[in-house]
Amino acid sequence: MKVVIIEDEKPAARRLSRMLNEIGIQPIAMLHSVEEAVNWFTDNEHPDLLLLDIQLSDGLSFEIFDEIEVKSAIIFTTAYDEYALKAFKLNSVDYLLKPIDADELKNALHKFKEIHTTKKLNTITNQQLKELIFPNTNSYKKRFTVKIGQHLKLISTSSIECFYSENKATYFSTNTNRNYLIDSTLEELETQLSPDLFFRVSRKYYVNINAIKDIISYTNSRLKIMLNTYNESEIIVSRERVKDFKNWIG
């Protein structure tokens, strides 16, 4: 399988390359911009598969397809789910949100092999299409229900400073410095939380923008976040998410 990575953040590209190497795939090229990709496709045989970031240093990767008729299958890798619909229109194999999980990558590659074998194009259900075309901002959760002994307590989402995973369980911490266990996983929360209010800064944490007290430069080009009340452990923005985090906070 011939694979090309197109990713403007070189550490993220190297990490993705290592993940592929671990499952026996050696990328034939790593490209970092729209211009570089267009030039490469002009001079080289198109690979079987692209692992393609959407937001590149000199524009959106969709601009590549305006210049070149790319004949490769595509797995999009990005933090911006707002581009999902356009990705599906380009018959992408899959759509992986950063930070990319190794198991999700393996599943996407397995999906590509099945599609490549059966010659089927990527499909999307009517429900998925409806949700992508008509996103309902009112569908985000406004409150969470937690059980305390024999009682149920309603917690407003706006009062939650962060969601976090610990020992394979998911919790949230409120602005009164109380922590509660919930049934949802962090992955399930992606569709339940407003992206204007919450951002997944790492594999362990979602943070509320209104709860951020301070942002501090940290080692290896990362950022450390201080929240108003939560202080049980350090919240670090992973290096691969720093750029997207800065865009999120404006």
**Residues 172 and 144 sit within 8 Å (Cβ to Cβ):** yes
The b/e string for 13-29 (b: 16+ C-beta within 10 A; e otherwise) is bebbbebbeeeebebee
Closest CA to 168 of 186, 189, 148: 186
Q: How large is the C-alpha radius of gyration of the chain?
A: 20
Domain spans of the chain, in order of start:
3-133, 138-249
Q: What is the pTM of this model?
A: 0.48
pLDDT at position 71 is 81
Query: For residue 248, what is the DSSP state?
Result: H
The pLDDT tens digits of the residues spanning 210-243 come to: 999 999 999 988 999 999 999 989 999 998 899 9
Q: How far apart are alpha carbons 4 and 26 in whole angstroms?
A: 9
| CA dihedral sign, ordered 137, 138, 139, 144 | positive
CB atoms within 10 A of CB 148: 9
Q: How far apart are alpha carbons 170 and 108 in whole angstroms?
A: 25
- State the amino acid at position 193 in one-letter form: L
The b/e string for 231-241 (b: 16+ C-beta within 10 A; e otherwise) is eeeebbbbbbb
CATH superfamily for 3-133 is Response regulator (3.40.50.2300)
Q: What is the mean pLDDT of residues 178-182?
A: 94
**Residues 77 and 55 sit within 8 Å (Cβ to Cβ):** no
Q: What is the mean pLDDT of residues 72-85?
A: 74
> Which of the four pLDDT bands, split at 50, 70 and 90, describes residue 61?
confident
- CATH topology for 138-249 is OB fold (Dihydrolipoamide Acetyltransferase, E2P) (2.40.50)
Residue 57 in tokens: 């240093």
Q: What is the mean pLDDT of residues 85-90?
A: 58
> Which of the four pLDDT bands, split at 50, 70 and 90, describes residue 121?
very low
The pLDDT tens digits of the residues spanning 141-168 come to: 889 999 888 888 899 999 999 999 998 8
